[in-house]
Amino acid sequence: MRRLAESFRQLANRLAGRESSVEDERLVALFRNRAELKKELSALDDERHRLLDRMKLQEGSTMRVQEQMDALEQYLGRPEEAFKSLAYFQLRAVWRAAARRLEHFSSELARQQKDRERKSQMAEFERGKRARAADVDRELVEARILAEQLQAEQKHARQRLQDLRGFWNYFRRARLADAIEARGPRIEASLTQVTDLGDRMHEVDSEPPPVFAGLSVEGQRAVNLAVIAYAESLCDRLSGGGLAELARETKLRRVFDTDYGSRDECVALMQLAARALADLEQMHDDLADIKARTDRIRRTAVYKGANEVIPTQDSILPPNGRKQAQSLPNVLLDEFWEIYRALVH
């Protein structure tokens, strides 16, 4: 109670305009520090609760992964399921290898397209720069000729003025002096123009190249059409034994939900997948085939807007022009080889 009364007394003194003592100032500072500490403590408490919530979520995720691992371990422990599981994961390896190849093709093609567009941009910049420099140089030559001509006339006029002697040349000297005086500002203006044009020529020569803003819409569309064509080519290459579709199913189904038949059938499928993996590692791209596919896709490709760079799924028609074709899947609709990750946006 005594401390409370003392606090009220000090407050009353301050309200009355009386100067506070050093002790009063220390007390006010302590109250301020206490308020700041409470704010910091509250913020730390909020951070603690947030971290606890994140830890609980992580624990739940870890438990789910552990449950999946336990289920997979029990599943693989059954001999009758082992070969099916091996076939499943080998098919997933085929899918990932094809997806990596498609992504690499896309990144390399995008790099080449960027190089072409950048070179085209630089060539256009250099052409414009040369044209601007030629215009300034022409004006500079004309300005120098005019300045030199005026200076020569002025020199000649001053020489004549010195040569005109005798009172009978008084009026001629006066006219000549007026002409010399009138020519002076013209000479100054012509010299200033020469200097300004020289500065402009230096500015043109020093112009930095423009910043490359990235692939144009046309460039992105060109890359994406080729990527779609390449995805189709991979589907054709892996169509033997239905391997492409079987590999895609590993992205849609869990290993527990698959069935590849007997042990011998699973072994045959694994051998087919192993050959496909080796082929994907060593294959050489058939650029003529990819170009032909790209040209075909370009003829039917439709975009939702002027700035869209990925064609609509239903505009990607198979080679025979029929929408229902069993020979070739719609790689956009079925999202073959993680195609949307490979497409540029």
pLDDT of residue 223: 96
Query: Could you tell me the end-to-end alpha-carbon distance of the chain, in angstroms, rounded to an integer?
Result: 72
d(CA 334, CA 345): 19
What's the mean pLDDT when you consider all of the chain? 84
- Per the CB < 8 A criterion, the answer to whether 76 and 82 are in contact is yes
Distance CA 300, CA 282 (A): 32
Residue burial 209-222, b: 16+ Cβ < 10 Å; e: rest: eeeeeebeeebbbb
Query: Can you read off the two tokens belonging to residue 325?
Result: 């074709």
Give, in degrees to the nearest 5, the angle at Cα 120 between 119 and 125. Answer: 95
Average of per-residue pLDDT across 112-135: 94
Contacts of 238 by beta carbon, 8 Å cutoff, 6+ apart: 94, 98, 244, 247, 276
Closest by CA position to 285, among listed 102, 92, 110 = 102
Q: What is the pLDDT of residues 245-287, one digit of tens each?
A: 999 999 888 887 888 888 888 889 999 999 999 999 888 888 9
Helix axis angle, 263-282 to 79-163, nearest 10°: 20
Residues in the chain: 345
Neighbours of 296 (CB within 10 A): 18
Q: Are 230 and 50 in contact (CB under 8 A)?
A: no
CB atoms within 10 A of CB 27: 16
Q: Calculate the alpha carbon distances from 64 to 78, 100, 120, 331 in Å.
A: 22, 28, 54, 33
Residue of higher predicted confidence among 296 and 61: 296
Q: Which sequence spans correspond to the domains of the chain?
A: 2-74, 83-118+215-342, 123-205
Kindly state the tokens that stand for 152: 């020569």
> Closest by alpha carbon to 227, among 124, 326, 336, 65?
336
pLDDT tens digits, one per residue of 62-102: 777 776 666 666 666 566 677 888 899 999 999 999 999 99
Which of 40-44, 106-110, 323-327 tops mean pLDDT?
Answer: 106-110
Instruction: Return the amino acid letter for 176.
Output: L
Q: Which pTM value belongs to this model?
A: 0.68
CA-CA distance, 116 to 130, in Å (whole number)? 21
Calculate mean pLDDT across residues 197-224. 92
